[in-house]
Homo-oligomer: A and B are copies of this chain.
Amino acid sequence: MGISRRDFLMRVGQAGGYGAAFATMQSLGLMPMKGALAEPIQAMAGSGTGVKVVVLGGGIGGLVSAYELKKLGYEVTVLEARERPGGRNWTGRDGTVVEFVDGTKQKISWEDGNYQNLGPARLPSTHWTMLGYCRELGVPLEVEINTSRSTLLQNDKANGGMPVPQRKAINDTRGHVSELLSKCVAQGALDADVSKEDRERMTAFLKIYGPLDAQGKYVGSDRAGLKTAPGAGGQMAVPEAPLDMRVLLDEDFWEDLFVEEDWDWQATMMQPVGGMDRIPYAFAKSLGPIVQYSSPVTEIRKTAKGVRVSYTQDGSSRQVEASYCIIALPFSMLKKIPNDLSPSFKKVVEESKMGGGYKIAWESRRFWEQDYNIYGGLSYLMEGPSPIWYPSSRLMHPTGIVVSGYDDEVDKPFYKLTMQEKFDASRASMEKIHPGHGKELKNPVFCGWRRVKWNEGSWIGSYGGGPSGYDVIIQADGPLYFAGDTASHVVGWQEGAALSARRAVGMISEKVRMAKMSGAADGAVMS
């Protein structure tokens, strides 16, 4: 059933996000949001001096926490289980090893310079917190192509299974809808509701919107594509007839068409030049030895003066004591670590369920560019792994990395397929969208986040602790605070991780301010 976009939004809705939000409509602010900079954290420069904070997890939530704490003068340690920063912000390149919890290892073998962002791969222009960090850290960005009119839609049950270009689907749909509404207006269907003047304006508007001809008919448009492009000499454009409305009316077929208009999927979207992991590496460079790698956490204890966190490094057990702790670990990992979370918090964590987002990526000749004029964007299929996601980087390069299958595999038959069966299904999707080209795919990698070591999940699927579980974990549990997209209404996005980290730092700063006012130099609140 195509991309997990809808599933994903449902999950966010479950968490009290968009779904809940849209239940109440509020008044209108027409000016564009001037939110290019994140709200400043309410804390004085140097206010963290003398106060220790330990941050668990070196993903975006942990890195932003440490980066902001450091700015305020805190003494910070980040404990990261892996030998690299970024967590799910991970870019696969030649030599990258994808290791699953069952011991399966895939070593990527790709041409130098080719890469795939295995986790997050998009920065919406409305995610100004993350964009602000890119600006601050000097991470060069380029366009991530999420909207392309040359990409395709395929449905075994429609149009004889032949793929349809998005330009055709989108523009013929609008044309037919405009013709039908224009007809209704002409027949007087809206006479009781709309004034004569507005009906006339509506009719004139629909002529452009469709576009419709002088008789109010939709007879096709160059917007929907041309059979032959205009050329030199006598070669005029040869138009295409529109797709039949019956084909367009199959709602399932078209559902994926409109995700490009979702708030956080709209153009312009961006990506760091060279790979998404340029962001965590830029944070890590700025933090230096604050980030301790290969240091998995083994125990989290509250103490009289804050927290004591145990971890291993170089085969030996170590401990770090601090006044505060920000937990930026996936709940799937946290629940395995002995801890002193209060019962209500523990319940949310232990009963939580993780999503199983995956990507299958292949190296190939860029036949989509060279033979189909497709430069970036996504093609969708109704059956089998979907979407096809074409690379936005290295346009015109002879080879590239293309995704065939980006979905949530949990609770689906796909989950039980062997790796080879998954690759076969992925290749079959490509063959359906681009007949004859499935065989050009080489060197696949399957990154199923439910299986990836140190993650065991792509993002939070559902919170434990009942409907108010989310509201519990956004509070402080004594000296313990949560960060990460899990502690935000922007699940599955780096923006959520960054915002929750900034919020945690703000909450700690407020406690430290109070503690210092009452004479505690270490900023700790006595338990």
A-B contact pairs, 23 of them (CB 8 A): A17-B237, A18-B230, A25-B220, A29-B240, A32-B165, A33-B225, A33-B226, A36-B369, A36-B373, A125-B148, A134-B396, A140-B395, A147-B147, A147-B267, A177-B181, A180-B202, A202-B249, A204-B251, A209-B258, A223-B262, A225-B263, A230-B488, A268-B375
Selected from B159, B180, B219, B374, the residue in CB contact (under 8 A) with A25 is: B219
A42 contact set on B, CB distance < 8 A: none
Min C-beta distance of A29 to chain B, whole Å:
5
Instruction: State whether A233 and B162 are in contact (beta carbons under 8 Å apart), knowing that A35-B373, A147-B267, A268-B377 are contacts in the complex.
Output: no
Selected from B230, B372, B502, the residue in CB contact (under 8 A) with A17 is: B230
A496 contact set on B, CB distance < 8 A: 230-232
- Known contacts A28-B241, A141-B396, A143-B392; can you find 14 more A-B pairs with CB under 8 A? A30-B159, A125-B374, A125-B375, A140-B396, A147-B268, A148-B267, A149-B267, A225-B263, A230-B496, A231-B490, A232-B490, A232-B502, A237-B263, A237-B489
Interface string of A30-71 (1 = CB under 8 A from B): 111111110000000000000000000000000000000000
Selected from B22, B205, B267, the residue in CB contact (under 8 A) with A145 is: B267
A21 contact set on B, CB distance < 8 A: 230, 236-239
Q: Is A27 an interface position by the 8 A CB rule?
A: yes
Instruction: State whether A208 and B255 are in contact (beta carbons under 8 Å apart), knowing that A18-B237, A231-B489 are contacts in the complex.
Output: yes
Min C-beta distance of A172 to chain B, whole Å:
11
Min C-beta distance of A301 to chain B, whole Å:
25
A180 contact set on B, CB distance < 8 A: 181, 184, 190, 202
Min C-beta distance of A424 to chain B, whole Å:
25
Closest B-chain residue to A499, C-beta based? Answer: B232
Q: Is A500 an interface position by the 8 A CB rule?
A: yes
A177 contact set on B, CB distance < 8 A: 177-178, 181, 206, 209
A412 contact set on B, CB distance < 8 A: none
B134 touches A150 (CB 8 A): no
Q: Is A370 an interface position by the 8 A CB rule?
A: yes
Instruction: State whether A239 and B30 are in contact (beta carbons under 8 Å apart), knowing that A181-B180, A198-B246, A258-B209 are contacts in the complex.
Output: no
Min C-beta distance of A210 to chain B, whole Å:
10
Q: Which are the 7 A-B pairs with shortest beta-carbon distances?
A: A189-B189, A143-B143, A184-B184, A230-B489, A222-B263, A232-B499, A232-B500
Interface string of A480-491 (1 = CB under 8 A from B): 000000011110
A250 touches B28 (CB 8 A): no
Q: Is A102 an interface position by the 8 A CB rule?
A: no
A159 contact set on B, CB distance < 8 A: 30
Closest B-chain residue to A165, C-beta based? Answer: B32
B373 touches A125 (CB 8 A): yes
B167 touches A266 (CB 8 A): yes
Closest B-chain residue to A244, C-beta based? Answer: B28
Q: Is A270 an interface position by the 8 A CB rule?
A: yes
Selected from B189, B211, B267, the residue in CB contact (under 8 A) with A377 is: B267
Q: Is A173 an interface position by the 8 A CB rule?
A: yes
B25 touches A239 (CB 8 A): yes
A377 contact set on B, CB distance < 8 A: 267-268
Instruction: State whether A26 and B503 are in contact (beta carbons under 8 Å apart), knowing that A230-B490, A267-B148, A374-B125 are contacts in the complex.
Output: no
A411 contact set on B, CB distance < 8 A: none
Closest B-chain residue to A369, C-beta based? Answer: B36
Min C-beta distance of A267 to chain B, whole Å:
5
A293 contact set on B, CB distance < 8 A: none
Q: Is A16 an interface position by the 8 A CB rule?
A: yes
A488 contact set on B, CB distance < 8 A: 230-233, 235
A229 touches B262 (CB 8 A): no
A369 contact set on B, CB distance < 8 A: 36
Q: Is A474 an interface position by the 8 A CB rule?
A: yes
